[in-house]
Amino acid sequence: MSHSVPTKVLVIGYVWPEPRSSAASGHVMQILEAFLEQGWDITFSSPAGPGEHKADLTALGIREVPIELNNSSFDTFISELAPDIVLFDQFMMEEQFGWRVEKHCPDALRILETSDLQSLRHARHQRLKDRLKINDEQTDFTELFAPALHEEFQLMASTDLAKREIAALYRCDLNLMISEVEIDLLVEEFGLPRQILHWCPLMIDLPDTTAPGFEERAHFLSIGNFRHAPNWDAVLWMKTTLWPLIRARLPRAQLHIYGAYTPPKATALHNPAQGFHIMDWAEDALEVMSAARVCLAPLRFGAGIKGKLVDAMLCGTPSVTTPIGAEAMHGDAPWPGAVALDANTFAEQAVQLYEDPARWQQAQIQASALLQQRYQRSVHGPRLINRIDDCRQHLAQLRNDNFTGAMLRHHTLKSTQYMAQWIEAKNQLNPTER
């Protein structure tokens, strides 16, 4: 789509991006880079404070503007900016700011970057908690790992979170989905129109260097932001069940666990005598991943796709995970490592990969093929831009075809608007309570 002036994009972030701390931030950065390649004029705003590992967006030519929740100063800001496209990073930002965007920039294309379906992740977490309450046996979780889409829908449908999240998806003109499984769930079970959903996985450049080989590597590795509940649960499962099983077979093996925002409860698990090392944040995740022989990702719940497992493929590091970890990541291709449904199989597969150079080498080759097949930036970047351009050209028709979205905007946003205005008025009367 050619314009005499650059397309103006406003991104409203739940947090300031920290691509070295989380895959969700990494995905946001990949989307921003696709926009920058078009010469688009980008402003990034967030009501959050800057985190410890915040990316320097200004160095990329992106303006950074802090904003406030429940404050009409945003109305002035967006009216003056007059963006052509507004991207909400996570549905809570659409809830907070969507009605203001619609009121002041009704013709701006509204896009939601979901990262993962939070209501699906939370429902799966609840299912795990319920299972552990009934039976705290820690080895076999087969029943959690292969539910049909309708079972997932039944888990989610009664929750407030799903109602909020699905409503936000309906209210947007386009929703970026990182997982094809989640697209199928939304279309087949929740009835969303497929034309408002776009598959946009992690987008990477293929490595141009040869990954280190089997003999050059040592140790097991696990990595992930400790603030993300599925990662913390995986660390606990490794500590109590999986690592003792692996260590019984490989008495000298070491497990190095890296993650941003390491809490004291994680540091307390550090035990060099058991080969169990809590390593804190990795300055360069790809460097530590490339030095490891096998990546462990024993996720018992979660959603979306897993940045750590794409990193493992990039580094040619075979991984052992669960069906939750591998979900929506490999299509019909073989997994570059192993997918296990229970603790004993997980440990067995981890040991085999660690000790068998031929099997390890085969997994490394499969990783390279999978990256090429599914995750190339050169494929998904242009596809995203084309989809956005098409939505902008047919915006009136797109909105007309999405009557449920229009209805939800009419009703929900009025209530959100009045609640926000009430909070703002209350804050002005009682500034000390803010």
* Amino acid at site 93: M
Could you give the CA distance from residue 178 to residue 176 in angstroms, rounded to a whole number? Answer: 7
Q: What percent of the chain lies above the pLDDT cut of 70?
A: 97
Structure tokens at 430: 């009682």
Are residues 392 and 338 part of one domain?
A: no
Structure tokens at 366: 């499969």
| Residues ≥6 apart with Cβ < 8 Å to 241 | 138, 139, 343
Could you give the CA distance from residue 347 to residue 220 in angstroms, rounded to a whole number? Answer: 12
* Amino acid at site 142: T
Residue 52's pLDDT band (cuts 50, 70, 90): confident
CATH number, residue 349: 3.40.50.2000
Are residues 397 and 362 part of one domain?
A: no
As to burial, measured by CB atoms within 10 angstroms (0-12 exposed, 13-18 middle, 19+ buried), residue 111 is buried
Mean pLDDT of 91-100: 95
Other beta carbons within 10 angstroms of residue 425's beta carbon come to: 11
Mean pLDDT of 155-181: 97
Could you give the CA distance from residue 230 to residue 213 in angstroms, rounded to a whole number? Answer: 30
For residue 427, the model assigns a pLDDT of 84
Are residues 345 and 246 part of one domain?
A: yes
More confident residue, 283 or 166: 166
CB 211 within 8 A of CB 315: yes
Residues 315-338 pLDDT 10s: 999 999 999 999 999 999 999 999
Structure tokens at 68: 């406030």
How high does pLDDT run on average in the chain? 94
How do strand 197-199 and strand 174-177 relate by DSSP bridges?
Answer: parallel
Are residues 382 and 370 part of one domain?
A: no
* Amino acid at site 192: L
In a domain, 134, yes or no: no
> What are the φ and ψ backbone dihedral angles of 130, each rounded to 5 degrees?
-60, -45
Q: How many domains does the chain have?
A: 2
Residue 13's pLDDT band (cuts 50, 70, 90): very high
Domain that holds residue 314: 214-375
In a domain, 209, yes or no: no
In a domain, 343, yes or no: yes
Are residues 363 and 248 part of one domain?
A: yes
Are residues 41 and 156 part of one domain?
A: yes
For residue 431, the model assigns a pLDDT of 63
Are residues 167 and 239 part of one domain?
A: no
For residue 420, the model assigns a pLDDT of 74
pTM above 0.85, yes or no: yes
Are residues 418 and 332 part of one domain?
A: no
Are residues 177 and 37 part of one domain?
A: yes
Are residues 393 and 333 part of one domain?
A: no
Mean pLDDT of 357-374: 98
* Boundary residue ending a domain (375, 392, 422): 375
Could you give the CA distance from residue 89 to residue 27 in angstroms, rounded to a whole number? Answer: 10
For residue 201, the model assigns a pLDDT of 97
Are residues 240 and 191 part of one domain?
A: no
In a domain, 129, yes or no: no
In a domain, 132, yes or no: no
CB 138 within 8 A of CB 241: yes
Residues 108-167 pLDDT 10s: 999 999 989 999 999 999 999 999 999 988 999 998 887 799 999 999 999 999 999 999
Structure tokens at 31: 């989307």
Are residues 313 and 343 part of one domain?
A: yes
